[in-house]
Amino acid sequence: MNDTRLAPYFHPTQIVLVDDDIDFLGNLSLQLEADLPYLLFDSTHKALGYINDRESEAPSRQRFFRFDNGGSALSGGGGERKVSLDTDAITREMYFTNRFSQISIAMVDYAMPQMNGLEFCRQIRNPHIKKILFTGVATEVEAVEAFNKGVIDRFIRKSERNVYEQLNQTIRELQHAHILDTFSAATDVFDVRVPDLLRDPAVETLLKNLRARYDFVEYYMTDDPAGFLLVDGDGELYRLVLVDADQQQRLIEQVEASGAPQECLKLLSTGDNLLDPAMLNGAQNVTSDPYRQWKSHIRVATRLEGKRSYRWAVFEAGLPDSDVTAPNSTFNRYLEWLDTVGYSLM
């Protein structure tokens, strides 16, 4: 049984909204939360053509995996060879300029003149696109039956008093489910060693809480040390270091090998502090006051009790001494671009 709670990365993805009532679409666009990227269509034929024409642009999730003894997860053969996540490949995902334009959700009204919403959903070729049906009282029975058969993923009644609040929440849930499902589909093909971080509900909750604090819209799993890169709408980077006791010990060994002062090693050895990974990359540039420079990269760690006992801290990333650079294509720039072209596709 696949108990993965988190995909190894997340970034916002595109939502396609379909309704023949242009006034309803206009009002709907005002009710969606500002950071949800959407395109509006008043024609099922246009919307379906747009979605299915872009099917070939969907990224191959297999590129995120590698055989433990070398080779590619796509090369086949190898019998019982284990497959691991390639965290370097996962991090490179944030440099793809088209990552936000991948379609994750199609939302359609049931009563449409060219074809009804259920027929529209049946004709979407990409099985990982999540489908939401807007329905009225008269079509609720059909919606329930379609949900039970897996034709749609959710249905929302237009008459609900809190319909827009429900819609915003549903879209966010399905955006994450879209990427998690495509990742899980690939792990089912290969015998993938899924890291414990991605299976732990406590880590999932931590990321949700940090999203509100740091306002990040993307994350990408990292290794050595374990954790995640967090990216906000303007491309500002943060590094969440999230390690268990064994990983903390390996980190201390790296710090010692890099020539850190004993006082700093003592701080890290207590388990109550963590080091900014950027310091390991810039250790050769330490000035005449090494203690002060090393200590400035140490932060108090917070305990997280999940399936394992973790320590975590967040550091600014993307700085000159960091091993990562900010992406040129940012989510806020994408939203600005989408505002200029969205209505032209209707």
- Judge contact between 109 and 20, C-beta under 8 A: yes
Q: Tell me the sheet residues that pair with 228.
A: 221, 240
pLDDT of residue 75: 39
**Helix 245-257 × helix 262-269 angle, to 10°:** 180
Residue partners of 147: CB distance under 8 A and separation at least 6: 153, 154, 155
Judgement on whether residues 172 and 247 belong to the same structural domain of the protein: no
In a domain, 116, yes or no: yes
In a domain, 108, yes or no: yes
pLDDT of residue 344: 54
Judgement on whether residues 180 and 260 belong to the same structural domain of the protein: no
Judgement on whether residues 21 and 137 belong to the same structural domain of the protein: yes
Judgement on whether residues 295 and 248 belong to the same structural domain of the protein: yes
What spatial distance separates the first Cα and last Cα of the chain, rounded to whole Å?
42
Measured from the Cβ of residue 29, the count of other Cβ atoms closer than 10 Å reads: 15
- Judge contact between 197 and 304, C-beta under 8 A: no
In a domain, 329, yes or no: no
- pLDDT tens track, the chain, 346 positions: 468 889 999 999 999 999 998 888 888 889 999 889 999 999 999 999 999 998 666 555 667 877 765 544 443 444 455 788 888 889 989 999 889 999 999 999 998 888 999 999 999 999 989 999 998 766 888 999 999 999 999 999 888 888 899 999 999 999 999 999 888 877 777 777 888 999 999 999 999 999 989 999 999 999 888 999 999 999 999 999 999 999 999 989 988 888 888 998 999 998 899 999 888 875 555 566 778 888 888 999 999 999 999 999 999 986 655 678 889 999 999 999 888 876 555 5
Judgement on whether residues 144 and 218 belong to the same structural domain of the protein: no
In a domain, 2, yes or no: no
Domain span at 124: 12-194
pLDDT of residue 186: 73
Instruction: Please give the structure tokens belonging to residue 103.
Output: 């379609």
Helix (H) or strand (E) holding 28: helix 22-31
In a domain, 5, yes or no: no
Nearest to 258 by CA among 315, 297, 301: 297
Judgement on whether residues 53 and 172 belong to the same structural domain of the protein: yes
Judgement on whether residues 166 and 279 belong to the same structural domain of the protein: no
Judgement on whether residues 51 and 134 belong to the same structural domain of the protein: yes
CATH number at residue 26: 3.40.50.2300
Dihedral over alpha carbons 289, 291, 297, 301 (to 10 degrees): -170
- Judge contact between 184 and 51, C-beta under 8 A: no
Judgement on whether residues 303 and 172 belong to the same structural domain of the protein: no
Judgement on whether residues 27 and 79 belong to the same structural domain of the protein: yes
**Unique residue bearing structure tokens 């600005």:** 336
Judgement on whether residues 186 and 201 belong to the same structural domain of the protein: no
Count of domains observed in the chain: 2
Q: Tell me the sheet residues that pair with 9.
A: 220
Judgement on whether residues 162 and 278 belong to the same structural domain of the protein: no
Give the predicted TM-score (pTM) of the model: 0.89
